[in-house]
């Protein structure tokens, strides 16, 4: 025997029930919108809730386009989009009256309400995941900074390969004179950029661990002192 819902051509499952039942499996759609109520036997299904018995493919397509417009969506704007010559696909309809009829008959406002709730829940979940994993966590940032510090220190000292592998002093050439009297001299240039990057890593680690307050930077007057210290110590001391 047909139920009252069938007699009135209503969907037998409410959007709310569909969302609760299929939430874990339906985190997939354009723009990462969940698709509760989608059925496998037809490509034309509303993004929220089950399809009405007399709901055509065109009506479903228009409803989904309406839902994807997000909060503040308006039927008149959807109608204008469909009527625009720049609209690449064949629109379900260009009639505002038809859209109004579909919206009332197939309860687009209720679908939109549940769609918004689903999208908000998704954003909350993704925001929590973004803020509670990876480099959003202090200890993760510190671990990455420490690995980078170790890499730069190896470049400065030479690491296990010894001082000869150090990049603290770089080979350079300088030409004096010109023509037949030109002479090329080989010299070593101090790699100040490498030391500067290393100091910045140490500063970042200090800030992340509370060792130095943000906004309080050392002045350039420290640079001569650093150069003097580096000059007076061997690479084995670093």
36 lies in the same domain as 106: yes
Q: What is the pLDDT of residue 29?
A: 39
Q: What is the pLDDT of residue 212?
A: 67
126 lies in the same domain as 145: no
60 lies in the same domain as 154: no
Q: What is the pLDDT of residue 44?
A: 76
Q: What is the pLDDT of residue 36?
A: 41
95 lies in the same domain as 154: no
**Cα distance between the two ends of the chain:** 87
Domain end, chosen from 98, 132, 166, is at: 132
Residue whose structure tokens are 């990462």: 32
116 lies in the same domain as 180: no
45 lies in the same domain as 107: yes
Domain end, chosen from 132, 167, 198, is at: 132
Total number of domains constituting the chain: 2
144 lies in the same domain as 214: yes
Q: What separation in angstroms does the CA of 167 have from each of 6, 159, 171?
A: 79, 11, 9
113 lies in the same domain as 200: no
121 lies in the same domain as 144: no
Are the CB atoms for 12 and 50 separated by under 8 Å?
A: yes
If you ran DSSP here, which 8-state letter would residue 90 be given?
A: P
Q: What is the pLDDT of residue 10?
A: 46
pLDDT tens for the chain, residues 1 to 238:
434 443 344 444 444 434 433 333 343 333 334 444 444 455 678 888 888 888 999 999 999 999 999 999 999 999 999 999 888 788 999 999 999 999 999 999 999 999 999 889 988 988 888 888 888 889 999 999 999 999 999 999 998 888 888 999 988 888 888 888 888 888 888 999 999 999 999 999 999 988 766 555 555 455 454 444 445 545 555 5
122 lies in the same domain as 18: yes
128 lies in the same domain as 142: no
Are the CB atoms for 49 and 115 separated by under 8 Å?
A: no
Structural domain boundaries enclosing 105: 4-132
17 lies in the same domain as 126: yes
Domain end, chosen from 99, 132, 165, is at: 132
């Amino acid at each position: 025997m047909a139920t009252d819902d069938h007699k009135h051509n209503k969907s037998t499952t409410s959007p709310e029930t569909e969302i609760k039942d299929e939430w874990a499996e339906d985190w997939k759609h354009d723009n990462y919108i969940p698709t509760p109520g989608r059925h496998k036997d037809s490509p034309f299904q509303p993004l929220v809730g089950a399809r009405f018995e007399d709901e055509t493919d065109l009506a479903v397509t228009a409803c989904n386009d309406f839902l994807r417009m997000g909060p503040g969506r308006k039927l008149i704007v959807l109608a204008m989009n469909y009527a625009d010559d720049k609209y690449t696909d064949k629109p379900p309809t260009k009639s505002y009256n038809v859209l109004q009829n579909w919206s009332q008959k197939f309860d687009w406002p209720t679908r939109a309400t549940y769609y918004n709730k689903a999208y908000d829940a998704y954003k909350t979940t993704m925001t929590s995941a973004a803020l509670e994993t990876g480099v959003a966590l202090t200890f993760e940032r510190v671990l990455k900074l420490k690995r980078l510090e170790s890499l730069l220190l190896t470049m400065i000292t030479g690491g296990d390969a010894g001082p000869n592998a150090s990049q603290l002093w770089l080979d350079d050439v300088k030409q004096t004179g010109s023509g037949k009297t030109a002479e090329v001299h080989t010299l070593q240039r101090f790699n100040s950029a490498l030391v500067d990057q290393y100091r910045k890593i140490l500063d970042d680690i200090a800030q992340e661990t509370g060792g130095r307050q943000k906004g309080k930077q050392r002045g350039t007057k420290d640079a001569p002192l650093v150069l003097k210290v580096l000059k007076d110590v061997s690479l084995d001391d670093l």
